[in-house]
Structure 1
Amino acid sequence: MDTSTQASRETDQQTRDWLRTLVAFDTTSRNSNLALIETVRDALKRQGIDALLVHNAARNKANLFATLPAQDGGTQGGIVLSGHTDVVPVDGQDWSSDPFAVDEREGRLYGRGTCDMKGYIAATLALVPEFLAMPRKKPLHLAFSYDEEVGCAGAPYLLADLRERGIQPEGCVVGEPTGMQVVVAHKGINVFRCRVHGRAAHSSLTPRGCNAIEHAARLICHIRDLADAYRTNGPYDTFYDVPFTTLTTNQIQGGIAVNTIPDACEFTYEFRNLPGMSPRDIQADIRRYVDEQLLPRMRAEFPDARVEIETGPAAPGLEASEQAAITALVRALTRDTATRKVAYATEAGLFQGLGIPTVVCGPGHIEQAHKADEYVALDQLASCVGFLRRVGQSL
């Protein structure tokens, strides 16, 4: 066996070992990710790399940013390898094995986050010794975030810190599961929480109340009407699997008893907009309906009725430039020239918003994420390791 083949096998084993380590941390978004982040920080420290941690306000979560300098010690420019450390819950899911212990069977590694997206992070960390040994003319940066799964809430703090410190990489690869194919665009996501306040009354005295649930239903139906209009009239982008902007109401609660007019109803809604559409304009339409139609009807029943809309997590869409060097590089290294756009959101649009050209490419398939028996195939991990190795060599 030649030296390069032996090295590749060792890296593949280190990738599995790292994945087992990462999956063992229950980093469901409601939990802290500090144990995982500090483990990664300490491993990098042992290899001579100082990692920066950017904490949330409660200091129970952190982003990690680390730079592997160029051969001459340079830290400016280069490429970011980016991934999120949080995962979605396993509550109510019927798993065949412990979701927080990697189970290998039939060429697949099962466990929460193996696909989305600890497999990519594991491959990146396994390659750090190789990256450090490469005679690179430019640096490599590692960016691992928290709370991506709840609206990309953590990465903005990391990017704000990079801006303040004047760090400006030349490109970024976000390793969300794409089957190691190049994704050049995705939709934005915008989440809102709406609280409708009416007046309670005994249900036998209906005219004396202002039914918050019924008025909330009017707004929900308006949101659905907007969604139907986008579906029917566009605008469209046929490269997407869902080629139009979507709006949905996904949670609702209200009422205290079957014989009581409810004075409050709360629901959440989201829209996923094509990158060329303004989220502000979409939300302005909803707000206009509230102010011009819904509130006048409510206040005819109860003068103090009100509707509160709170802006929640949001992430911008991505529209990568085909002329950007990172797009050309990733296409060349994967030999993938297809135009591919997806409806799900990632942190890529946030990096692009900082002026860092970004594409999405990582192991596994989105269809395997977020469900019971989530897995990543071993051949996908091997392809990812080979791809990331070539990224390092290209520098």
Structure 2
Amino acid sequence: MSSDVPVLTRELVSIPSHEDEGSAGDFIEAWLREHADGDVTRDGTGNVLARKGDPTGPTLALVGHHDVVPPADEQAKNGEYLVEERGGRLYSRGTADMKGAVAAAMCAFRDASDLDGELVFASFVGEESGGVGARYAIENGFVPDYAIVGEGSTNYSKPGVTDVVVAHKGRRGSTITARGTASHASEPEAGENAIYRACEAVDLVREFEAPAAEVLGNRLSGSVAVTEIGGGSAMNVIPERCTVTVDERTVPGERAPLERVGELEGVEWAVDQDLPPMRCSDEGFAEGVLAAAREAQEGSPELVAKPHATDAGWLAEAGVACVICGASEPGEAHTKEESVSIEVLERCYQIYREAAERII
């Protein structure tokens, strides 16, 4: 057990990082320089990275992020996040998503030994803003052989167990814009109704079957849904413009053919956000992390899938064999009562260290 993990979690969680991750990054960098035997760097966007071991061997990265979503009013006071311990759990913004796992990874990086390859610690900025830090790191050459991303995987297969996620959905958000010609509503035939054109596009979207995928025994089912619509300027004017927002949950492989709506007259389609899904590309690596997870707990963890997009999607897209393993439980992240189990933080430390020593 590493009693440093809950203490380190409290210190890291108390540092605000919803508007500016700089102070949290400073803390992580300083702690690693003082406590860990490795090469610590800070890249141009604020990511903190540390390396140790043999760079000529396989590379395993322990990956997290130190930005958070804004705290609720009751989670902050005088410019600091409030941290409370009760019932064996730490309560505060960022405990679950995901500074607790970052602290566990920091301690595992420090303590892992007998490595035949290179162990990397990476804490990214901007995960909550679409993977800003992960994309910057990848564009600048961060492509380890393997990565364990410390997002939530606890209580997925059953209560009390920290599982290993081998796949997750992505998200593609897009906008359909229908254009027409305005006219007075008393003479609708003099114009082209953009709302009618948008409705044709919506009808087409409703016909699409969202793709599904199977990854190491886990089935992921995507979805496509119209979530917003807006158009028109007055009750007596035929509208010349109408927009429709589409939320698509993607899976590894094929996607819904949304580009087909652009073939309709007067209709355009544009992608606003595209967070990639994740599929573990190396079954042996997944089984190795699962073995480490079994060693660290009494329960029976499984290889599972997750509905939410994470930085693992960017890494997998770049060719990294990824899994997700972390302390957060479903429903904890981004809530007013966000919390994490201290026992599970300790468990994650053991999983990360054991996996590092097994795999590299």
What TM-score does the superposition give when structure 2 sets the normalisation length?
0.81
1:295-334 equivalence runs, <5 A:
295=265, 306-321=266-281, 323-324=283-284, 326-334=285-293
Task: Determine whether 1:83 maps to 2:64.
Answer: yes
CA-to-aligned-CA distance 1:123-163 (integer Å, 9 cap, x gap): 223445434xx453432212222333344344222112116
Could you say which residue in structure 2 is the equivalent of 1:287?
259
Aligned partner (choices 182, 190, 197) of residue 200 of structure 1: 182
1:172-187 equivalence runs, <5 A:
172-179=147-154, 180-187=162-169
Q: Aligned partner of 1:171: which letter?
A: Y
Could you say which residue in structure 2 is the equivalent of 1:350?
314
What TM-score does the superposition give when structure 1 sets the normalisation length?
0.75
1:215 Cα deviation from its structure 2 partner: 2.4
Could you say which residue in structure 2 is the equivalent of 1:301?
none
Could you say which residue in structure 2 is the equivalent of 1:300?
none
When the two chains are superposed, the root-mean-square deviation of aligned CA atoms in Å is 3.0
Change (3 A) 1:376 1:214: farther
Q: Aligned partner of 1:161: which letter?
A: N
Aligned residue-pair number? 341
Could you say which residue in structure 2 is the equivalent of 1:67?
50
Distance between the aligned counterparts of 1:35 and 1:197, measured in 2?
A: 47
Distance between the aligned counterparts of 1:39 and 1:98, measured in 2?
A: 19
Structure 1 runs of 4+ aligned residues shifted over 6 Å read none
1:376 Cα deviation from its structure 2 partner: 1.4
Secondary structure of the residue aligned to 1:162 is coil
Distance between the aligned counterparts of 1:315 and 1:192, measured in 2?
A: 12
Aligned partner (choices 88, 91, 99) of residue 107 of structure 1: 88
Once the two structures are aligned, what percentage of the paired residues are identical?
28
Any conservation in 2 of the 1:191–1:271 contact (CA below 8 Å)? yes
1:323 Cα deviation from its structure 2 partner: 3.4
Could you say which residue in structure 2 is the equivalent of 1:299?
none
Change (3 A) 1:142 1:235: closer
Task: Determine whether 1:271 maps to 2:271.
Answer: no
Aligned partner (choices 227, 230, 255) of residue 250 of structure 1: 227
Which has the larger helix fraction? 1
Secondary structure of the residue aligned to 2:140 is helix
Could you say which residue in structure 1 is the equivalent of 2:29?
41
Distance between the aligned counterparts of 2:258 and 2:121, measured in 1?
A: 39
Distance between the aligned counterparts of 1:182 and 1:105, measured in 2?
A: 27
1:120 Cα deviation from its structure 2 partner: 1.0
CA-to-aligned-CA distance 1:355-392 (integer Å, 9 cap, x gap): 32111111121322233322212222121122223234
Change (3 A) 1:235 1:17: closer
Change (3 A) 1:329 1:240: closer
Could you say which residue in structure 1 is the equivalent of 2:41?
51
Which has the larger strand fraction? 2
Distance between the aligned counterparts of 1:214 and 1:14, measured in 2?
A: 57
Change (3 A) 1:340 1:169: same
CA-to-aligned-CA distance 1:234-285 (integer Å, 9 cap, x gap): 75659658x522112233433333443333233332322332x323xx2xx3
1:334 Cα deviation from its structure 2 partner: 0.7
Q: Aligned partner of 1:53: which letter?
A: D
Q: Bigger shift: 347-356 or 379-388?
A: 347-356
Structure 2 unaligned spans of 5+: 155-161, 295-299
1:97 Cα deviation from its structure 2 partner: 4.2
Aligned partner (choices 100, 104, 118) of residue 119 of structure 1: 100
CA-to-aligned-CA distance 1:91-144 (integer Å, 9 cap, x gap): xx7x6544942232322222232212222112223445434xx45343221222
Q: Aligned partner of 2:293: which letter?
A: T
